[in-house]
Structure 1
């Protein structure tokens, strides 16, 4: 059987793992600088925990896990269960005889479940960060995988809009350290609800936001077509036509909305909140070019209630490399009320692709061995290992070529592996208490005393 990978998954080489760790280390450092504490949750959850939280399209992308009880059933029962399974393939999975668990779709809903289960033990506001893989039954393409990592930071237990401002700061500081130039697109779910009320389609809010969220993928004509298909009238669509002709001035666009939202309480509340976040961010020195009010930004997840964010790289075509928003009611579905929350996510895999495309990884982002000791066999090998132990105790990476073989083969191994120095500890060096090594990058070879080598 020819080995293959499941679609939408990847193996990671040592170079890729090192570079991913470089990104994660920067994010983790900043999460902790901003007061967030680490949390991990299981890779799969009860299906009931996940469904109904991501909207119609999101629910379709949840990876369901077939009940292990099918394998344990007797032959006749197993046949019946498998027949039920076959019939259900073209329908939403709801029968508990087939599946009652699923791989996590994101980190936010499992986090809300954790908060609901432990709210009596937590100190609020509770700030957590989480760096773990998630799974989505999506169509694989560039920058979109079925298994990928999310790096999340969330705050629950506070309605303060200063949390939004702090998360904007976290985004900009982290991407600045990664040297990725970004623009943060921001909107407010209340504004979208206000737009639905303005257009007379309050009962079609979800249909409206799901279609609008696809604007950057299918364009205005595609959005209009989908709105019509979702039974939204042409009259309502015409009232919303101004959405597609916004100016570059965020505050000017908000002023225009205020005029349209006269008497529209929820819409005006959204404008007020967004105006505060943008104004105070500018007061803190954020460049207006880095924070853009995007009235068409919808992020098609049902649980958002306030601010919504999406981060895009300025110098690469990659879609969003981060996103998030406020979700003040999410724990209510788990029976715990009055726990407002807001969170953001960094898309590790897409950030990696952007940095790779723009050649932004520093050389020290890779973890290559500093010294390879040539293997001459016999006593020299033992002495080499003694020296290797001393280097490792000093935190310096070193290894011994495992076989005593031709030196050219050992050279080739060192070059292919990206090892910086090849060390020769032969009979003469041992006798004179010296070490000879060659820097493979510079092509220079020198002999130094053992004491100088160990520094």
Structure 2
């Protein structure tokens, strides 16, 4: 049988792993610099923990785990004993006797579950960061995988809008260090609720936001078509037509909204919150060109209640490479009220693709071996290993070629692995307490004293 990868998954070579670690190290450093503490949660959760948090479309993308134990599937005990799994598979996956667990869809809902379970032990505001893989049964395409990493930073236990301002700073500082030029698109869920109220479709808020969030993918005509298919009237759609002709001036757009939201308390509250975040970010030195008020940004997740963020690379076509928002009611579904939260996520896999496309990885982002010692056999091999031990004690990477092969073969090995230096410790060098090494990048060969070599 010819081996193959599961669709939407990837292997990572040593180069790719090193580059991914480079990104993660920068993000982790900044998370901790901003006061966030690490957390890890299980790769799978109870299905009831995840469903109903991501909207209708999101729920369809959750990877459900089929129960394999007879004890977990009591009602289907006979079916499973007969190994007739097809009968089990033909039943609805929502049936708890078939599946009551699922791979995590994101890191936010498991985090909310953790907070609900441990709220009596946590110090609020509680700030955590999490860097782990998530899974979605999505259609694989460029920048979209079924298994991918999220790098999240969340704050719970505070309603302060200064948290939004601080997360804008975290985004911009991190991407600046990665040398990725970005624009942060920002909106507010209360503005979207206000728009639904303005158009008389409050009962269709979810359908409205899910369709609107697809504007950059399917265009105005596609959004209008989907709204009509979701039983939203043409009259309501006409009232919302101004959404598709926004100017580049955020303040002008907000002023227009204030006029339309006269007497609309929810909508006006959203405008007020958005103005605060934009104004204070600028007061802290953020270039307004890096922040875009995007009135059509919805992000399609049911749990957002306030600010919504989406980050896009300026110099690459990659969709969003980060996103997040405020979710003030998420822990209520787990029986814990009054724990407001806000968080952002960095899309590691898409950031990697952008940096690769733009050639932004520095040379030291790879972890190549510094020295390969040629193997001459006999006493020389033991002396080489003694020297390798001393190098490793100094934190310098070194290895011995395992066999006493022809020197050309050892050269080829070093070049293919990207090893920087090939070391020759032969009988003459051992006798004179010297070391001969060749820098394979520069092509230069030197013989130095043992003391000089060890620094």
TM-score over 0.5 for the pair: yes
Given the superposition, is the C-alpha separation of residues 45 and 257 from structure 1 closer, same or farther in structure 2, using an over 3 Å criterion?
same
Given the superposition, is the C-alpha separation of residues 2 and 153 from structure 1 closer, same or farther in structure 2, using an over 3 Å criterion?
same
Given the superposition, is the C-alpha separation of residues 413 and 156 from structure 1 closer, same or farther in structure 2, using an over 3 Å criterion?
same
| SS in structure 2 at match of 1:93 | coil
| SS in structure 2 at match of 1:167 | helix
Contact 1:81–1:97 (8 Å) recurs in 2: no
Given the superposition, is the C-alpha separation of residues 81 and 290 from structure 1 closer, same or farther in structure 2, using an over 3 Å criterion?
farther
Contact 2:74–2:97 (8 Å) recurs in 1: no
Given the superposition, is the C-alpha separation of residues 304 and 81 from structure 1 closer, same or farther in structure 2, using an over 3 Å criterion?
farther
- Deviation of residue 418 (structure 1)? 0.2
In 2, Cα distance between the equivalents of 1:258 and 1:240?
14
- Deviation of residue 94 (structure 1)? 1.8
Given the superposition, is the C-alpha separation of residues 71 and 223 from structure 1 closer, same or farther in structure 2, using an over 3 Å criterion?
same
- Deviation of residue 81 (structure 1)? 8.8
Compute the TM-score of the two structures, normalised by the length of structure 1: 0.97
Instruction: Spell out, residue by residue over 1:193-246, the C-alpha distance to the aligned partner (whole angstroms, 9 max, x if none).
Output: 000000000000000000001111111110000000000001100100000110
Given the superposition, is the C-alpha separation of residues 88 and 199 from structure 1 closer, same or farther in structure 2, using an over 3 Å criterion?
farther
Deviation larger for 71-80 or 180-189? 71-80
Deviation larger for 30-39 or 60-69? 60-69
- Deviation of residue 192 (structure 1)? 0.1
Deviation larger for 376-385 or 72-81? 72-81
Instruction: Spell out, residue by residue over 1:32-80, the C-alpha distance to the aligned partner (whole angstroms, 9 max, x if none).
Output: 0000000000000000000000000000000000012259889983437
Unaligned runs of 5+ residues in structure 1 are none
| SS in structure 1 at match of 2:361 | coil
Given the superposition, is the C-alpha separation of residues 251 and 72 from structure 1 closer, same or farther in structure 2, using an over 3 Å criterion?
closer
Contact 1:127–1:154 (8 Å) recurs in 2: yes
Contact 1:85–1:98 (8 Å) recurs in 2: no
| SS in structure 2 at match of 1:396 | coil
Given the superposition, is the C-alpha separation of residues 138 and 387 from structure 1 closer, same or farther in structure 2, using an over 3 Å criterion?
same
Unaligned runs of 5+ residues in structure 2 are none
- Deviation of residue 123 (structure 1)? 0.2
Instruction: Spell out, residue by residue over 1:345-385, the C-alpha distance to the aligned partner (whole angstroms, 9 max, x if none).
Output: 00000000000000000000000000000000000000000
Aligned residues between the structures: 455
Q: Does 1:300 align with 2:303?
A: no
Instruction: Spell out, residue by residue over 1:104-127, the C-alpha distance to the aligned partner (whole angstroms, 9 max, x if none).
Output: 000000000000000000000000
Given the superposition, is the C-alpha separation of residues 324 and 87 from structure 1 closer, same or farther in structure 2, using an over 3 Å criterion?
farther
Given the superposition, is the C-alpha separation of residues 227 and 76 from structure 1 closer, same or farther in structure 2, using an over 3 Å criterion?
closer
In 2, Cα distance between the equivalents of 1:344 and 1:76?
42
Given the superposition, is the C-alpha separation of residues 85 and 255 from structure 1 closer, same or farther in structure 2, using an over 3 Å criterion?
farther
| SS in structure 2 at match of 1:151 | strand
- RMSD (Å) for aligned C-alpha atoms: 1.7
- Deviation of residue 93 (structure 1)? 2.4
- Deviation of residue 92 (structure 1)? 5.5
| SS in structure 1 at match of 2:154 | strand
In 1, Cα distance between the equivalents of 2:197 and 2:154?
30
| SS in structure 1 at match of 2:309 | strand
In 2, Cα distance between the equivalents of 1:73 and 1:204?
38
In 2, Cα distance between the equivalents of 1:408 and 1:227?
68
Contact 1:311–1:323 (8 Å) recurs in 2: yes
Compute the TM-score of the two structures, normalised by the length of structure 2: 0.97
Given the superposition, is the C-alpha separation of residues 214 and 89 from structure 1 closer, same or farther in structure 2, using an over 3 Å criterion?
farther
| SS in structure 1 at match of 2:70 | helix
Instruction: Spell out, residue by residue over 1:286-345, the C-alpha distance to the aligned partner (whole angstroms, 9 max, x if none).
Output: 111100000000000000000000000000000000000000000000000000000000
In 1, Cα distance between the equivalents of 2:83 and 2:244?
49
